[in-house]
Structure 1
Amino acid sequence: MNLPNRITLARICLIPIMMFFLLVDFSFYPEPIHWGSFQLSVNHLVAAVIFLLAASTDGIDGYIARKYNMVTNLGKLLDPLADKLLVSAVLISLVELGRCDSWIAIVIISREFAVTGLRQIALLEGKVVAASKWGKIKTVVQIVAISLLLLNNFPFQFVSIPVDDIAIWAAALITIYSGIDYFVKNKDLLQLHNA
């Protein structure tokens, strides 16, 4: 197994660790971080750090694979799977914690499944559906929004601006738009299979 695939596998392995810190009740220890009216549990801070670390490996593994000609079929399968597992796991956890509306999680996760299905149809036709500009923007906005939700809107909590809520709504809207963009640009794939 080459280095990019190991990095991708490490991202997948970080998911249950992140969820452990996010969902297990650590109210007995340690004390939450207090800063004026701001409060954040240490375990949620650890979960946010793990999420950011895992999310940052997405660009690293792809860069190494392309730069050093280490692209493999396993990597092509694992990389998008790792991304979807990470985002799905954290969104479902945030819904359980009451930090994210369930409809937003459903929209984002459904779009991921739909685009994955489109990519599989493309593979059957011997084509590749590459990541679009809107797909990349979607990923960045999702990571920012999820990070803000994990950190209880830090640092914007001090100025009473709900940037975390604004960001997750923006992530949902951009996710919808990027999904539509993929299907419009690849409508010929769907027409082939309707015949």
Structure 2
Amino acid sequence: MTLKYVLLPYLFAASIVIGIIALVIIVVCAIKDRKKVFPLSVDVTSQFDNSVLISIDERMKAIADMLKAEFKPKPQVNHKASLCGVWTNIDDSMRYYITPRGGFYVLYIEYRYQPEIPGKTFVIRCSTSNPDDSDIFFADGDTLLTLAYSHETDRIYLADSGEELERYEVHELSDIDSLAPESVDFDINSFIDSTEQ
């Protein structure tokens, strides 16, 4: 065997030992430098003024209060409840009755000047495409209607027909007929009662 192959394991072992020694020296030097920069026992009151400590404490309390307010569970608002009541289009040819029915809301459309056309019933659902927009609703029945509610004007905009609906109570027509209970498949008084509550 040549001398080269005999010394190779010894050289390898020596390089590992030298590497370990160098690593120990680096760690010891780092610990000494750290003790110089960050002494183990720090007297906070001697390094900082009390006013600075009070200011930091106040800021920490303000941040904690802000975080509590931010992550506090917000009350669940039922936006569909603001739709309840009797609505009418501009010429009062159609009336829209919205009422709660158990855990959901129902829209019934009455065709006032065409009694041969039966009314339509829909279930109102919140927008799933944009859940952050709480004023867009879908009425799901034999067709799908899209409703947009404005809190400022208290009107409903029907996207499909382009009509604006206003509440029956504020609709101003001199020849408004009384509600026709026989044309509706459920009690209209439940709609009127639900809007008065």
TM-score, normalization by structure 1: 0.23
Quick one: higher RCO (CA 8 Å, sep 6+), 1 or 2? 1
Larger strand percent: 2
Which of these two proteins has the greater Rg computed from alpha carbons?
2
